[in-house]
Amino acid sequence: MQFLRLFSAFALLAALAAPTPADAACSDPSNLCVEPKAAKWEPDASLSAKQLKAKRKGASGTLSLKIEEGRGSVFVDGRFAGIAPLSSLELGPGKHDIQVRDGSKILAEGVITIPKGATVKATVRYP
Amino acid sequence: MSALAPSGPCSRLLAALIAVSLPLGALPAPAAAAGPHLGLVALAAAPTGKLSASDAASARKSVQDKAKGLLSADDPDGAAELLADEADKKADPILYIDAAQAYKAAGVKNKSRVDLENGMEKARVGLDILYFLQDPRVDPDWQPVEPGDVSSEISRGEKAIESLEKAVEDLANKKDEPAPVEEEDKKRKKAPKDGRGLIATGAAFTVLGVAGLGMLGAGLAISSSAQKHVDGLNPSDPMFPDQVADDDKKGKLGNTLVYAGIPIAAVGLATGIALLVVGVKKRKRYREENGGGDTSASIQVFPVTGRGYAGLSLSGRF
């Protein structure tokens, strides 16, 4: 009985004292990881001018982007979108051309699909 | 109904409108900078619609003229702020590099590493955009710089970074010289926000938690020994009731220590460890941002024994 008490006391302590697990690092070979999986990421792909100008129907989504242990600027659909970390960048649903770079070094580039009304989180690993 | 409450339909409508407009007013206004086909709303820096190099140059000219005035009036801080703000609004790489140069002047004048580092970051953003302008992914309708000027602007940006790095080095070399009295006073008044408070509080809570664990252990040991003693007693012994009462007392004391020790240990360790983790992260970030700093901080835990006592000693330097 006493052993049971001892174990339950330590189990409670262990549960309370355990640190929360850190965010898993991005290990994708393209250096960019997205969440949720519905937001498709196609590394190295690009959009044609016609695709870029296409009208987008439906609720906009948002894109948040951070760079792990590094700096960089984010370019969306051929234009400067801001300096990472970007939070809640509103984007129309569908495919968007993304490039993240630090000077002459391209950290990640490709096409991301933003589902209607979705909140997409992207993490770029600094190579 | 209260005298202040809306009584008629008009006042109810007004109240409803106010109720709806208040939360709407609190929402961030969509930036005018959104591109028509991009659907970008949260961007303050993205240029609108079509931008030709000549339009960008004329918009830039007035900002550069104002900044020149501020620089000649010996106000490099004002010039740097103006150029950086306008660079952000217009996403103009040339203004970013101009801002970097103004920050360098401000950093040298104020002997401020922060100004110099701000300058470096502005130059890097300018270079990011300039290099992107050479990339096939760039939108042909967005030309903030004349294509023929991109290469020369890149070399201007890189030179700006080189000179800023040298200025940081020079400033670091001058560190050995005695700091002005005013700056020393400011340093004394304001402790750096490097998480040392969190680490110290976390360590204190952890000590409390360890003390709780000690209480818990001691309580378990006391009650266990009392239980063993009771189990070994002979019920036919005339002293049996007195001995049971004595052991019962000890057992209750042990249980009290266990019950008190559990919450103290749980709260102490959970809070302490959480604060330590946050504090260490904050310190790491602070060091990354401010470079180096005091690296002699440490925590030591070692056993301490003496006549009639034994325990753990936790000491730290924050």
Predicted confidence (pLDDT) at residue B19 exceeds the cutoff of 50: no
The reply to whether A38 touches chain B by the CB within 8 Å rule is: no
Integer Cα distance of B307 and B215 in angstroms: 19
Q: Is residue A63 part of a domain?
A: yes
Give A92's contacts in chain B (Cβ within 8 Å). Answer: 38-39
Cβ burial of B19 (10 Å; 0-12, 13-18, 19+) is exposed
Helices (H), chain B: 9-26, 53-72, 76-90, 93-110, 113-133, 150-173, 181-189, 196-231, 240-290
* CA dist., res. B176 & res. B264, Å (int): 48
User: Where in the sequence is the domain holding A102, given as residue range(s)?
Assistant: 26-125
Residue A18 lies in a domain: no
Residue of A nearest to B35 (CA): A79
Nearest neighbour of A73 by CB, restricted to B128, B140, B273? B128
In a domain, A17, yes or no: no
User: How many domains are there within chain A?
Assistant: 1
Residue with tokens 């005018």: B32
Q: What are B68-116's pLDDT values in tens digits?
A: 999 999 999 999 999 999 999 999 999 999 999 999 999 999 999 999 9
B119 to chain A, minimum CA–CA distance in Å? 15
**Is A17 in contact with B41 (Cβ distance < 8 A)?**
no
Asked whether the beta carbons of B164 and B112 are under 8 A apart, the reply is no
Better-scored residue on pLDDT, B127 or B280: B127
The amino acid that residue B291 corresponds to is G
Q: What is the pLDDT of residue A49?
A: 82
Confidence of residue B45 (pLDDT cuts 50, 70, 90): very low
B305 — pLDDT class (breaks 50, 70, 90): confident
B221 touches A: beta carbon within 8 Å = no
**Would residue A7 count as lying in a domain?**
no
% of chain B at pLDDT higher than 70 = 75
Smallest Cα–Cα separation from A109: which of A99, A121, A95? A99
Name A94's bridge partners: A114
pTM above 0.80, yes or no: no
What's chain B's average pLDDT? Answer: 80
Question: Residue B183: what pLDDT?
Answer: 61
A99 chain-B contacts, CB cut-off 8 A: 132, 135, 137
Residue A14 falls inside a structural domain? no
Query: The domain that contains A113 carries what CATH number?
Result: 2.60.40
What is the predicted pLDDT for the residue at B306? 76
ipTM associated with this complex: 0.79
Question: Is A1 domain-assigned?
Answer: no
Tell me, letter by letter, the H, E, C secondary structure of chain A. CHHHHHHHHHHHHHHHHCCCCCCCCCCCCCCEEEECCCCCEEECCCCCHHHHHCCCCCCCEEEEEEEECCCCEEEECCEEEEECCEEEEEECCEEEEEEEEECCEEEEEEEEEECCCCEEEEEEECC
The answer to whether residue A10 sits within a structural domain is: no
Listed as ranges, residues in chain A with pLDDT below 50 are 1-23
Residue A71, Cβ neighbours under 10 Å: how many?
16
Query: Across the interface, do A89 and B42 touch by the CB < 8 Å criterion?
Result: yes
A79 touches chain B (CB under 8 A): yes
Q: Which residues contact B119 (CB under 8 A, 6 or more apart)?
A: B80, B99, B100, B101, B102, B103, B104, B106, B107, B160, B164
In a domain, A62, yes or no: yes
